Amino acid sequence: MGVLEKLEPKEVFHYFEELCSIPHPSYKEGQISDYCVRFAKERGLTVYQDDLKNVIIIKEATPGYESVEPLVIQGHLDMVCEKEPNCTIDFEKDGLELMIEGDYITAKGTTLGGDDGIAVAYVLAILASDTIEHPKLEVIFTTAEEVGMEGATGIDVSMLEGRKLLNLDSEEEGYMLTSCAGGCGVECNLPVSWEEKTGTQIEIVVEGLLGGHSGVEIDKGRANSNLLMGRVLLEAEKTVKYAIVSIGGGTKDNAIPRETKARVIVAEGEEEALIQAVAETASALTKEYSTSDPEIKIYAKAVGSGTAYVLTEEVAEKTLQLINHLPNGIQSMSADIEGLVETSLNLGVLALTSEQLSMRYAVRSSVGTAKEFLKDKIAHLVAYMGGTITCKGEYPAWEYKKDSVLREDMVRIYREMYGKEPVIQAIHAGLECGILAGKLEGLDAVSIGPDMIGVHTTEEKLSISSTKRVWEYILEVIKCK
């Protein structure tokens, strides 16, 4: 018996639970992509699957809708995979352990993947139905959305006829998204060199942060564990001489990191001085972030002694300079739309290997020239330190369409169903609509979705009641003539 079996709408939650049982991290969407292909073939639907594992499914119009313009519906197959420290799930092999908490569905110890599994579940439920009225439906399921929208960038949509797109990758009921920022991933790499050092090893831990989506939550003032670690090490340097053995934190550039760890070596007898220096900085940071991140924990502990390879003093200094002085967070707010972040970046991943220090950022802006300047700024600073940058997953901004028939129809339907106006909104997070608009000339797009909270974190939750209301709304939208 499925965990969600008794929930309504039954068909939507049936498919959502099936999707959650299939591993589908970014770049590993093969199983879920093949599932969608089998689904389509079993129902005699036209289906395409490319080398990137993108899937397109086409279902012909129901009687009475043959002359209505086709509707494109779109969501993505991959999910952000984050888990709690003690969670043993292997995201490449295991399904999620779903739970119901009041009005919410969540996953034990992991992200839920409601972003964007609920979109796929909605669409499969529509495609499986013999009673839902609709025009010709052209469904796009993309891959690698969470790591730079690579599936949308590479997909061939030349076979599609529709120029109205319903994107189902939003997370707040009653909001209709009509434009979004463009962005890219920027990886900064600094070559490193090592030397041997003998002393006591101290582990420093930053944990307990809220984290979140680097587009949606970037304006919440939440702490970034990688930056806090940089500050802790910089402050400690004023008191105790140490050498860096290891440092790392975060797993995705588009998720605000929640935990970072470092290991350093100090001379025998300096252990307590370093631990005390860390405690003093921890006290200050706990106060600074008491509202946005009330559960912050920063501490240091001795973990053994002996000889280890450490970063040379020159490389260690460059490491601290880059972490602490490269830009991060909001860079500018929109002058046209009140409250909208225009340009930002997020240090999502910090990693040290035997060859290099790697810092991975998600860069976003609704202004193309501002995004390019920010990339140049990063490149110049990193080059000054002797490093290089690479950019990947470039995607354009989705520009607002002043004359949108789809938006007008959706607003009218919403008003008729709920007796109030929806919120028309631009967001700082990236959506695939901008990429698809570049492939389908004249595309008219709107993005909606049910209420989700904690997206991209282990606290991610999907509202059951909102999922039902949005389902009912989608059915009215697709049968609109």
Would you name the residues annotated as active-site residues?
A: 78, 145
Instruction: Tell me the C-alpha distance between 110 and 345, whole Å.
Output: 25
Nearest CA among 276, 283, 332 for reference residue 302? 276
H helices of 248-367, in order, are 271-288, 313-325
Which residue matches tokens 């990191």? 257
Q: Which two tokens stand for residue 283?
A: 């006290």
Please name the residue ranges forming H helices in 147-203: 150-154
Instruction: Tell me the one-letter amino acid at 98.
Output: L
- Distance between CA 382 and CA 388 in Å, rounded? 6
Cα–Cα distances in angstroms (integers) from residue 197 to residues 152, 314, 315, in the given order: 48, 15, 15
CA 209/CA 258 separation, integer angstroms: 5
Residues sharing a CB contact under 8 Å with residue 390, sequence separation 6 or more, in sequence order: 186, 187, 189
Determine the Cα–Cα distance for residues 180 and 256; give it in Å rounded to an integer: 19
Rounded CA separation 245/249 (Å): 14
Q: Tokens at residue 154, please? A: 């590479």
Sign of the Cα torsion 270, 271, 275, 281 reads positive
Identify the burial level of 307 via C-beta atoms within 10 angstroms of its C-beta, where 0-12 means exposed, 13-18 middle and 19 or more buried: exposed
Helix (H) or strand (E) holding 249: strand 242-249
